[in-house]
Structure 1
Amino acid sequence: MRDYYSITELTREFGISTRTIRFYEDEGLISPIRRGRTRLFRHSDRQLLKNILRGKRLGFSIAEIREIMGMYRSPPGEAGQLRAIIRKVNLRRAELEQKRRDIDDLLSELEQTEEACLTRMAELGISPTA
């Protein structure tokens, strides 16, 4: 395992911009070592960044990610953190399932509208491709 990673190495590894990493630093989610203007990221910073990006992919806000990360550092500790993640995952899943139902309903409405238009065009003798 390496001691330090540069910001460039992390941007390449995770496919994100330096601006993104600096944003997470400004938000207090990661704290690299500073040597002048150079940022040196420890293995723990790399792991935090990986977890932050996972949280973002799951749809968590920065505030939610901060809350989850904070639980790990203080009581209720990892057990509380894991419970909070499960609650948030379940909420996010419910939101996405509702969005899926909404999309399915919308697609059905669009299909019905298209069918009605095609039927009316046929009645009028209009070609649908013209």
Structure 2
Amino acid sequence: MSTTYSISDLARELDVTTRAIRFYEEQGMLSPERRGQERIYSPKDLVALKLILRGKRIGFSLAECKELIDLYDPSSGNRKQLQTFMDKIAARRAQLEQQLLDIQQMQLELDTAEERCLAAMAETERKQGISA
């Protein structure tokens, strides 16, 4: 028999709230079976939730996470899913590198502005010292 999980089992195992799990379910990213009011999650749901959480940590949108989950196909070795994941990783890495360059440029601009302010303050103090 395959392992199944309750919503509280998943929440505890992955350190997320049951509310978050229900949200991902509402977004169509998890699809538990129902036994009355009880949700029964499969190992596939566990993997999907792990993928969602990993995707969020590295900056993927929920839409990107959903796309990766929808590509899950163990019969093909998940090749398309893995290739798409690699493409998204490369794009995210490029985005982060650009953001790092932008931050470094901003730091240079701040340094220049600070130097100008300090020079202007020193000039003001020098002029006030002369006129005093």
Partner of 1:69: 69
The alpha carbon displacement at 1:54 in A equals 0.7
Kept after mapping to 2: 8 A contact 1:71/1:77: no
- CA deviations 1:30-63 (Å, max 9, x no partner) are 1223232222323332222111111122222222
Q: Give the Cα–Cα distance (whole angstroms) in 1 for the partners of residues 15 and 111 of structure 2.
A: 38
- Corresponding residue SS for 1:20: helix
**Larger C-alpha radius of gyration, 1 or 2?**
2
The alpha carbon displacement at 1:75 in A equals 8.3
Partner of 1:57: 57
Partner of 1:79: 79
Structure 1 residues 101-120: aligned runs within 5 Å: 101-120=101-120
Structure 1 residues 91-130: aligned runs within 5 Å: 91-125=91-125
Give the letter aligned to residue 122 of structure 1: A
Q: Give the Cα–Cα distance (whole angstroms) in 1 for the partners of residues 43 and 63 of structure 2.
A: 23
Kept after mapping to 2: 8 A contact 1:11/1:17: yes
Q: Give the Cα–Cα distance (whole angstroms) in 1 for the partners of residues 15 and 74 of structure 2.
A: 31
The alpha carbon displacement at 1:76 in A equals 6.3
Root mean square deviation, CA, Å: 2.4
Aligned residues: 125
- CA deviations 1:2-21 (Å, max 9, x no partner) are 93333233333333222221
Distance 1:74 1:41, change over 3 A: closer
Give the letter aligned to residue 25 of structure 2: E
Unaligned runs of 5+ in 1: none
Give the letter aligned to residue 79 of structure 2: A
Say which is worse superposed, 74-83 or 32-41, in terms of deviation.
74-83
- Corresponding residue SS for 1:30: coil
Distance 1:49 1:115, change over 3 A: same
TM-score, length of structure 1 as denominator length: 0.80
Unaligned runs of 5+ in 2: 127-132
- Corresponding residue SS for 1:116: helix
